[in-house]
Amino acid sequence: MAIADKQHQNFLSKTLEQAVILPVLVIERVEDAIPLAEALLEGGCTSVEVTLRSEAALASMEKISAHLPELTLGAGTLLECEQFQQVKDAGASYALSPGTTEKLALAAIDSNLAYVPAAATPSEVLELRELGFKIQKLFPAGASGGIEMLKSLSSPIADVRFCPTGGVSTANVQDYLQQPNVICVGGSWLAPKDLVAEKNWSAITKVVQKSMAAVR
Ligand code: 3PG
């Protein structure tokens, strides 16, 4: 049976532990990719998730991976098997998806790209665990039970750590990060749409600094 690569799991463990907070980005204009990534970097981010939710996503990944190697680039919202190779070619160091099918998990293993699959129920967590994925996204975190869900999972499934995403904000980020089975948290609140539209990069740096200060 195909199984997730141990080195990839170690890489994800280090990358996400260091990141603490992972911005989930929808980049609509390629020209925004570098200034947005620089603003996040300046605020203290060490990794970003660029989602495949816009036409500009792959080109934005290429720009960030080529120009900002100090930022570990994650590719998010992978819904199709062939996307693993596409994001790898665009320079992503790892991939994430909002949910996982067996096909997707096997495609990730096949593509030899580190992968954070997502689960929202104990059975899904266990299926991914059987494939060797010990780091998973909990999505949608808030809607699937949030902190109570993480607390409930921590005792029976003690060796899986989560990146809760979906409904995380400045209001609850500290509570999420206090859970021992949370490796990092992800979310779009770090790059608010209106600030990106206005190209207000310094305001985005401040949003990140504020969240980083709250969790340190
Ligand atoms: C994701 O893909 O992880 C979510 O869209 C992020 O959810 P949020 O917008 O509630 O942070």
Rounded distance from Cα 173 to ligand 1 centre (Å): 13
Ordered structural domains, the chain, with CATH? 6-215 (3.20.20.70)
**Among protein residues, the one whose CA lies closest to atom 5 of ligand 1:** 166
Nearest to 137 by CA among 79, 94, 85, 182: 182
Is the pLDDT score of 73 beyond 80?
A: yes
Q: Two tokens at 22?
A: 């992972």
- Which SS3 state, helix, strand or coil, does residue 62 take? helix
Per-residue pLDDT at 60? 98
Is the pLDDT score of 38 beyond 90?
A: yes
Name the pLDDT band for 102 (thresholds 50, 70, 90).
very high
Tell me the average pLDDT across 173-189.
97
**Angle ∠(206,212,216) on CA atoms, nearest 5:** 145
Q: What is the pTM of this model?
A: 0.96
Per-residue pLDDT at 216? 79
Task: Show Cβ contacts of residue 99 under 8 Å, excluding neighbours closer than 6 positions.
Answer: 118, 119, 120, 139
CB 71 within 8 A of CB 103: no
Catalytic residues: 49, 137
Q: Ligand 1: does its nearest atom lie under 6 Å from the Cβ of 98?
A: yes
Tell me the average pLDDT across 196-215.
95
Amino acid at 183: I
Q: How many CB atoms lie within 10 A of CB 73?
A: 22
Could you tell me how far CA 202 lies from the centroid of its own chain?
A: 23
**Nearest-angstrom CA–CA distance, 18 and 191:** 19
**Nearest-angstrom CA–CA distance, 138 and 183:** 11
Q: Ligand 1: does its nearest atom lie under 6 Å from the Cβ of 168?
A: yes
Name the pLDDT band for 2 (thresholds 50, 70, 90).
confident
**Nearest-angstrom CA–CA distance, 214 and 135:** 24
CB 40 within 8 A of CB 186: no
What tens digit of pLDDT does each residue of 120-154 get?
A: 999 999 999 999 999 999 999 999 999 999 999 99
Percent of the chain with pLDDT over 90: 98
Rounded distance from Cα 1 to ligand 1 centre (Å): 32
Q: How many CB atoms lie within 10 A of CB 207?
A: 20
CB 64 within 8 A of CB 48: yes
CB 104 within 8 A of CB 83: no
Q: How many CB atoms lie within 10 A of CB 48?
A: 28
Rounded distance from Cα 193 to ligand 1 centre (Å): 12
CB 43 within 8 A of CB 18: no
